[in-house]
């Protein structure tokens, strides 16, 4: 069975997200660990986290994805900026130990004119400062669209980061369909070729989750504007091939489409239907 869910608001806590997912007939979901600007997180409620762990076990959820605030930048220009990113991510990972065995996805960063090599180095240094051998969370690098000075729109850049991370067994990759298409990988006409390239450079065993989004822009546009399933340039057929692909179909898929809950419910049902065809 397809594992699919959507991005949910974390404002009512962990267990509430689990119940919300069930109402949408999802068996995974994603949430921001704190507001996207990266400010202070609420005090962690251990009983609430335990309730989610129990709900997920009872309903056989696939792993869920905690998403770091997208404003964090491990390769920012000032040390203060980088330190803030490291400390926030380390705090998120400490909290996630209450929901062990899940994923923590983050945007590798923007090199802001320092160059992609420096960016890659700083990202790896940041991860080396954060990762610990006893961590129960797998940290995912998200494939990026390549807008501005984003690092991680080429599989080679993600490879270079992984190569410099000491505890690289704690790391994986989350493939965002909108981002890879915007980044120039032709998942519309040549999904097999893109996945072969992913396998050659990163190894498909590194691929832990998929962000399932259509794109408002054509392949290679480097824009990063998500569209609802079937309403963008990627289209329903190509996204259906993604969820049906033998190399992908057992992964958790997470919608980040511009929807409210009823729209998410429809897209979850639609993709479940498409997965069976």
Nearer to Fe ion, 29 or 53 (CB): 29
Could you give the dihedral angle defined by the CA atoms of residues 191, 194, 200 and 201, in that order, rounded to the nearest 10 degrees?
-140
| Residue-by-residue DSSP string for 86-137 | HHHHHHHHHHHTTSTT-EEEE--EE-TTS-HHHHHHHHHHHHHHH--TT--S
What, of Zn ion, Fe ion, none, does residue 224 touch, CB below 5 to 8 Å by kind? Answer: Zn ion
Check binding of 142 to Zn ion (CB under 5 A). no
Which one of the spans 11-19, 96-104, 147-155, 208-216 is the region binding Fe ion (CB under 5 A)? 208-216
Task: Give the distance between the most distant pair of CA atoms in the chain.
Answer: 51
Check binding of 182 to Fe ion (CB under 5 A). no
Which one of the spans 73-81, 89-97, 147-155, 207-215 is the region binding Fe ion (CB under 5 A)? 207-215
Locus of tokens 């915007």: 182
The vertex-201 CA angle with 197 and 206, nearest 5°, equals 100
Identify the residue among 211, 224, 234, 268 touching Fe ion (CB under 5 A). 211
Q: Is 146 left (phi over 0), alpha (psi -120 to 50) or beta?
A: left
CB of 177 to Fe ion, least distance (A): 9
Residue 226 pairs in a beta bridge with 215
- Of 158-177, binders to Fe ion (CB under 5 A) are 176
Token output for 23 = 């109402």
Nearer to Fe ion, 176 or 214 (CB): 176
Nearer to Fe ion, 141 or 240 (CB): 141
Q: Is 68 left (phi over 0), alpha (psi -120 to 50) or beta?
A: beta
Which one of the spans 14-22, 146-154, 155-163, 216-224 is the region binding Zn ion (CB under 5 A)? 216-224
Binding-site size, Fe ion (CB under 5 A): 3
Check binding of 150 to Zn ion (CB under 5 A). no
d(CA 123, CA 152): 11
Nearer to Fe ion, 95 or 211 (CB): 211
- Of 109-168, binders to Fe ion (CB under 5 A) are 142
CA proximity to 72, closest of 28, 20, 130: 130
What, of Zn ion, Fe ion, none, does residue 157 touch, CB below 5 to 8 Å by kind? Answer: none
Check binding of 226 to Fe ion (CB under 5 A). no
Backbone phi and psi for residue 253, each to the nearest 5 degrees, phi listed first: -105, 135
Which one of the spans 45-53, 146-154, 190-198, 220-228 is the region binding Zn ion (CB under 5 A)? 220-228
Check binding of 224 to Zn ion (CB under 5 A). yes
What, of Zn ion, Fe ion, none, does residue 211 touch, CB below 5 to 8 Å by kind? Answer: Fe ion
d(CA 212, CA 268): 10
CB of 134 to Fe ion, least distance (A): 26
Nearer to Zn ion, 92 or 224 (CB): 224
Nearer to Zn ion, 135 or 158 (CB): 158
Q: Is 180 left (phi over 0), alpha (psi -120 to 50) or beta?
A: alpha
Residues at the interface with Fe ion (CB under 5 A) = 142, 176, 211
Residues at the interface with Zn ion (CB under 5 A) = 224
């Amino acid at each position: 069975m397809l594992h699919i869910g959507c991005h949910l608001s974390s404002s009512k806590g962990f267990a509430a997200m689990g119940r919300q997912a069930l109402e949408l007939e999802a068996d995974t979901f994603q949430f921001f660990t704190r507001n996207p600007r990266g400010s202070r997180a609420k005090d962690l409620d251990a009983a609430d986290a335990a309730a989610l762990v129990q709900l997920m076990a009872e309903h056989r959820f696939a792993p869920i994805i905690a998403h770091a605030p997208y404003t964090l930048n491990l390769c920012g220009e000032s040390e203060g900026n980088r330190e803030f990113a490291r400390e926030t991510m380390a705090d998120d990972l400490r909290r996630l130990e209450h929901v062990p065995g899940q994923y923590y996805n983050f945007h590798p960063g923007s090199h802001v004119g320092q160059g992609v090599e420096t960016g890659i180095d700083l990202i790896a240094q940041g991860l080396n400062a954060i990762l610990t051998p006893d961590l129960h969370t797998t940290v995912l690098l998200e494939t990026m669209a390549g807008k501005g000075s984003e690092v991680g729109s080429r599989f080679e850049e993600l490879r270079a980061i992984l190569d410099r991370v000491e505890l690289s067994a704690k790391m994986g990759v989350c493939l965002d369909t909108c981002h890879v298409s915007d980044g120039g990988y032709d998942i519309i006409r040549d999904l097999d070729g893109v996945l072969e390239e992913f396998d050659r450079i990163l190894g498909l065993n590194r691929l832990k989750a998929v962000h399932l989004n259509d794109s408002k822009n054509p392949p290679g546009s480097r824009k990063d504007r998500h569209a609802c399933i079937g309403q963008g340039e990627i289209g329903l057929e190509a996204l259906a091939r993604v969820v049906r692909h033998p190399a992908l179909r057992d992964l958790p898929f997470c919608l980040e489409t511009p929807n409210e809950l009823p729209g998410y419910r429809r897209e979850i049902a639609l993709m479940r239907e498409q997965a069976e065809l």
